[in-house]
Amino acid sequence: MATAALAIAPDLITTLHGRPRGHLAVVGIGPGQSAWRTPEASRLIAEADELVGYGLYLDLLGPLAAGKPRADFPLGGEADRCRHALERAGQGARVALVCSGDAGIYAMAALVWELIDTGTVSDAARRAEVVVAPGVSALQAAAARVGAPLGHDFCAISLSDLLTPREDILRRIRAAAEGDFVVAFYNPGSKTRRTLLAEARQTLLQHRPPETPVLLATSLGRPEERLTHRTLATLAVDEVDMLTVVLVGSTQTRRLETGDGPRIYTPRGYARKEPVP
Ligand SMILES: C[S@@+](CC[C@H](N)C(=O)[O-])C[C@H]1O[C@@H](n2cnc3c(N)ncnc32)[C@H](O)[C@@H]1O
């Protein structure tokens, strides 16, 4: 049983008692250049009162972030970053939590939902409205740069064993190799983690030829972008860093020389339906 009263105000009400429901937008801004940012992502950032994120990603926003209070968090401070964003939204703020690429692919959206689900944030934070805005992921940007290597079935595997047991990663690599998926390797190696990509290469070589096309795409959409074409035989682990995504073709993936440089594509199977003239 409740009593409610409604009234129409003659003017805009500027003083409110109580607090508005907070809003957290978990926003993927694409890998780098602003042309790869969706209008929805730009709108949510423009509408935010404050920004939360890893400093490098906030810097990538350029003028869109100008004048907004920002909470920069270091790499590795992911739980603190998400908790801070949720708690600020719980206090009634309109917050944008900024992620690179897509917000739900190896990014913060899953951790935000996990914190809400496991109750490790305040009740106020759990009542905030949360929306997730998708973005262009690194694998899509890399593929677009070199043709259409993801034209048929593909999968993504993160080679970071910081959060995933090494044995699970190796099992997924074996399954991808046996299933003949094109594979996008995220987090392919850092200064201290260098062995998993070499192991992945060995496993894949048991199921696909040494001349299988490989692309190392580094710093996509940023001034220092680098695209390096290799094969499974010539893939060198030392050429990757934490800003590289590695695309490895399937047995069907082909490399094509064009006047604009090499292109890679994976046919969808139309040749089986229509004879090529
Ligand atoms: C924590 S994951 C973030 C993925 C991101 N949410 C996405 O959808 O692209 C970080 C990994 O994504 C890849 N990555 C992110 N941005 C990249 C870029 N601009 N160029 C190449 N790879 C990138 C790298 O493999 C990097 O180690």
Element spanning 87, H or E: helix 78-90
Is 53 close to ligand 1, i.e. is its CB under 6 Å away? no
The whole-number pLDDT of residue 83 equals: 97
Which atom of ligand 1 lies closest to the CA of 246? Answer: 25
The whole-number pLDDT of residue 276 equals: 63
Between the two ends of the chain, the Cα-to-Cα distance in Å is: 76
Which atom of ligand 1 lies closest to the CA of 185? Answer: 25
82's tokens = 């998400």
237 residue type, one letter:
V
Ligand 1 pocket: which of 108, 139, 186 to mutate (most atoms <8 Å of CB)? 186
How far, in Å, CA of 44 to CA of 86, rounded? Answer: 16
The whole-number pLDDT of residue 89 equals: 97
The whole-number pLDDT of residue 17 equals: 66
The whole-number pLDDT of residue 277 equals: 65
Residues of the chain with pLDDT under 50: none
The whole-number pLDDT of residue 77 equals: 83
At 140, is the secondary structure helix, strand, or coil? helix
The whole-number pLDDT of residue 21 equals: 83
Nearest CA to ligand 1 atom 1: 106
For the chain, the farthest-separated pair of C-alpha atoms sits apart, in whole angstroms, at: 76
The torsion of the CA quartet 10, 14, 19, 21, rounded to 10 degrees, works out to 70
Distance between Cα 138 and ligand 1 center (Å): 5
- Answering whether pTM is above 0.85, one says yes
Confirm if 49 and 69 have CB atoms less than 8 A apart: yes
Which atom of ligand 1 lies closest to the CA of 222? Answer: 19
